[in-house]
Chains A and B, each alone.
Chain A
């Protein structure tokens, strides 16, 4: 059967391939192109400090997409994401960083340390996968929680690689195609500051990994994941190999996490082992839950939102007099405490009132305007 498109009837599908295609309506095509164009213009409009927040947000989005693959699509609750991010961060730092007095580094280029960071994390995911096959639900959540604590210990103790607690080490050097992203200067005829260069780098990586994530989700693998999430026994009965797909879910998710870890701390600079604790795992879980479970765009929205939460609570602190702006201030709460409380409250509020997250809000707005003026 030939697949044709009918003019003026965007929702009519004449083949399965059309239904499953990446951007299956003209509106989605146009808005995606528009969003990408606008994102490339953002660095020329927004101030540098805000750009850094957005850059880190976009890098986190890669990890959030990864967590969404395993938790959102495949339904395997993982509190161990921080461990995989840490593995990626240290693989990147060791391979791409420089040797100094206390830590080793090989100073390799980005096209070696970035894939390696992903692969090392994915291998760790492969090791965890079989445990996930034997365990379900909350048992799995607690075991992955144990992973975070074991990882924390390993990171603290391998001082020659991580610098140890309180000292830390530098991330890998960000040089792509001979362009150093940590300096300002003219690139392709444009005078770009450090923040602008890093923003473009993060944006390109986010687009690559978002398309990758979307493709995994809409392919047979993604449908196998959803089948396992919805009812694993039923999935096994219709021929989904549970072991294979659960292990795959963990490996893929960890690959994304590893890439995020390496890139994030390359931008941040110095980092120490305590960064990869339970709080980081909860943050990523919050990105997925607040953004929207089992949606790629939701994970991106959630990551951007959670990453800017520190900035938002800083702004709130300006407005509310009882919040002090330093950690030991005399106010009722400090900015950091407000930020942590906001995580807690936002997770609870979203789970109660909008379980589909920011993506759900967007769907509702979209449906309102789709039906306008007959929306009720």
Chain B
């Protein structure tokens, strides 16, 4: 039972990272109908900014993270402006492939910075753990869950109550109509990418603050947010959060129990468990748990 609860707690915190990244994918998908494969690179870049500000320039963790969010947002906007804006109106598949190209380029540059050592951001409070009974969680993970909760709540309020949020929702619904209402659709695209870049930077910061830090292979983490958005539904904000947490928890549960229960699945099966979960969900619900079913007009 303790194992089970511990796995749930671990999964919940890891799932928060997936949820942040998944929100970024959904932001971009809702605004532009493109799946951005550049998200892994944005996460790594964000984490490296945080590392640079805190470890190299000696700033406190939270200020470093805020600056990293700003820088991540700027990088996101630049990617949109340089690589995607000229391609407006092209098939979404083309745009998605372009983001793969962007991802490769950005990751090579950041790999150059990372080198062979892993870059670890110092979290204030170090390795202290908070525990109830036998279940414990590190302060860094608690911080992650808190930051995720605040971010998701802030985003929800932003979309619900602000004029800009309304403009973004309108654009997601119908670009041409939004344009006719005087909404600057281009600005909405840029903002969506900026939000996605910022969210990726938060995720990157906490990946860097984890035990392993940011390495050349850390970008794989961000790809696990893809099953999360598919499970939740590509165009659903709450779906992204639920999907992210589900992926994190399933991953942690498999990591805890699969070696004993089903050893024939091989070592490290937990790393691919999210994809297996995705296949199962898709066979039952092709548009995810919360996604809108596409209506076919002839």
Residues of A within 8 A of B (CB): 77, 131, 134-139, 141-143, 145-147, 149-150, 152-154, 156-157, 233-234, 237, 278, 282, 285, 289, 328, 332-333, 337, 340-341, 343-345, 347-348, 351-352, 355
Residue of A nearest to B279 (CB): A146
4 A-B pairs besides A134-B283, A234-B298, A347-B97 with CB distance below 8 A are A138-B234, A149-B272, A150-B279, A345-B101
Residues 96-138 of chain B, each 1 if its beta carbon lies under 8 Å from chain A, else 0: 1110111111001001100010000000000000000000000
With a cutoff of 8 Å between Cβ atoms, the chain A residues found around residue B227 in the complex are: 142, 146
Q: State A157–B262 Cα separation when bound (angstroms).
A: 14
Per the bound structure, the CA–CA distance linking A143 and B226 in Å amounts to: 9
Q: Given the complex of chains A and B, what is the CA–CA distance between A351 and B267 in angstroms? A: 40
Asked if B147 lies at the interface with its beta carbon under 8 angstroms from chain A, I say no
What residues on A are CB-neighbors of B276 within 8 Å?
150
B211 in contact (CB, < 8 A): no
- Whether B108 contacts A143 by the Cβ 8 Å rule is no
> B86, A352: Cβ atoms under 8 Å?
yes
Give Cα A142–Cα B230 distance, bound, in whole angstroms. Answer: 8
Partner of A347, one of B100, B111, B267: B100
Taking the closest CB of chain B, its distance from the CB of A174, in whole angstroms, is: 31
In B133-189, the 8 Å CB interface with A consists of none
Distance between A245 CB and nearest chain B CB, rounded to angstroms: 18
Residue of B nearest to A334 (CB): B112
The listed residue with most A CB atoms (<10 A of its CB), out of B226, B268, B272, is: B272
Please name the 9 residue pairs, one residue from A and one from B, whose CB atoms are nearest each other, closest first: A157-B266, A344-B104, A146-B275, A344-B101, A348-B101, A153-B272, A347-B101, A344-B105, A134-B286
Q: Which of A234, A337, A344, A355 has the most CB of B within 10 A?
A: A344
Q: In the complex, A64→B230 CA distance in Å?
A: 28
Bound together, the chains give a CA A333 to CA B275 distance in angstroms of 34
Which residues of B are found within 8 Å of A352, using beta-carbon distances? 86-87, 98
Q: List the A residue with the shortest CB-CB distance to B271.
A: A153
Q: Which range holds the interface residue count of chain B? A: 35 or more
Which residues from chain B sit less than 8 Å from chain A, CB to CB?
Answer: 34-35, 83, 86-87, 90, 92-94, 96-98, 100-105, 108, 111-112, 116, 223, 226-227, 229-230, 234, 265-269, 271-272, 275-276, 278-279, 282-283, 286-287, 294, 296, 298
Complex Cα distance, B35 from A142, in Å, reads: 9
* Assembled-state Cα–Cα distance A348/B90 (Å): 13
How would you classify the secondary structure of chain B's contact residues: helix, strand, loop or mixed? helix
* Interchain nearest-CB distance for B21 vs A (Å): 14
Q: In the complex, what residue of chain B is closest to A281 when comparing beta carbons?
A: B100
Inside 8 A of A131's CB, which chain B residues have their CB? 279, 282-283
B35: chain A residues at CB < 8 Å are 138, 141-142
Which residues of B have CB within 8 Å of A145? 223, 226
Give complex CA distance A77, B116 in Å.
35
CB of B298 within 8 A of CB of A351, answer: no
Please give, as numbers and ranges, the residues of chain A lying within 8 Å of B103 by CB-CB distance. 344
Closest residue of chain A to B278 (Cβ to Cβ) is A146
* 7 pairs, A vs B, C-beta closer than 8 Å: A131-B283, A149-B271, A233-B298, A328-B116, A341-B108, A344-B105, A348-B83
The reply to whether A77 and B93 contact each other, CB–CB distance below 8 Å, is: yes
A33 CB to nearest B CB, Å: 36
Residues of B within 8 A of A141 (CB): 35, 93, 96
Contact of A137 among B93, B97, B268, B272 (CB under 8 A): B93
- Which of B34, B90, B271, B298 touches A237 (beta carbons < 8 Å)? B298
Report yes or no: A348 in contact with B102, Cβ–Cβ below 8 A: yes
Closest to B87 in A: A352
Residues of chain B within 8 A (CB-CB) of A147 are: 275
Closest residue on chain A to residue B268 by CB atoms: A153
Residues of A within 8 A of B271 (CB): 149, 153
Asked whether, in the complex, the Cβ of B92 is within 8 Å of the Cβ of A138, the reply is yes
Which chain A positions have C-beta within 8 A of B226? 142, 145-146
Known A131-B283, A142-B226; contact A289-B97, beta-carbon cutoff 8 A? yes
Contacts of A139 in B (CB 8 A): 230, 234, 282, 286-287
Q: Is the CB of B104 within 8 A of A341?
A: yes
CB distance from B179 to the nearest CB of A (A): 23
CA distance A137 to B234 in the complex (A): 12
Q: How many Å from the CB of B239 to the closest CB on chain A?
A: 13
Q: In the complex, what residues of A have CB within 8 A of residue B278's CB?
A: 142-143, 146
Q: Please, which residues of chain A bring their CB within 8 A of the CB of B279?
A: 131, 143, 146, 150
Q: Are B97 and A285 in contact (CB under 8 A)?
A: yes
- With A143-B230, A149-B275, A355-B94 given, is the CB distance from A345 to B282 under 8 Å? no
The smallest beta-carbon distance between B224 and chain A, in angstroms, is: 9
A150 and B298 contact, CB distance less than 8 A = no
Give the distance in Å from the alpha carbon of A142 to the alpha carbon of B92 in the complex. 14
Chain B: minimal CB distance from A320 (Å) = 16
In the bound complex, residues from chain B placing their C-beta under 8 Å from that of A355 are: 90, 94
A340 with B108: CB separation less than 8 A: yes
- Whole-angstrom distance from the CB of B96 to the nearest CB of chain A? 6
Q: How far is the CB of A349 from chain B (nearest CB, A)?
A: 9
A139-B276 Cα distance, complex, nearest whole Å: 15
Specify which chain B residues have a CB less than 8 angstroms from the CB of A135 in the assembled complex: 282, 286
Contacts of B93 in A (CB 8 A): 77, 137-138, 141
In the bound assembly, the distance between CA atoms of A307 and B232 in angstroms comes to: 38
Contact B92 A137 (CB under 8 A): yes
The answer to whether A157 touches B92, judged by C-beta atoms less than 8 angstroms apart, is: no
Q: Shortest beta-carbon distance, B161 to chain A, in Å?
A: 30
Chain A residue nearest in CB terms to B265: A157
Give chain A nearest CB distance to B33 CB in angstroms.
9
**Smallest CB gap from B33: residue in A:** A138
Complex: chain A residue closest to B267, CB-CB: A157
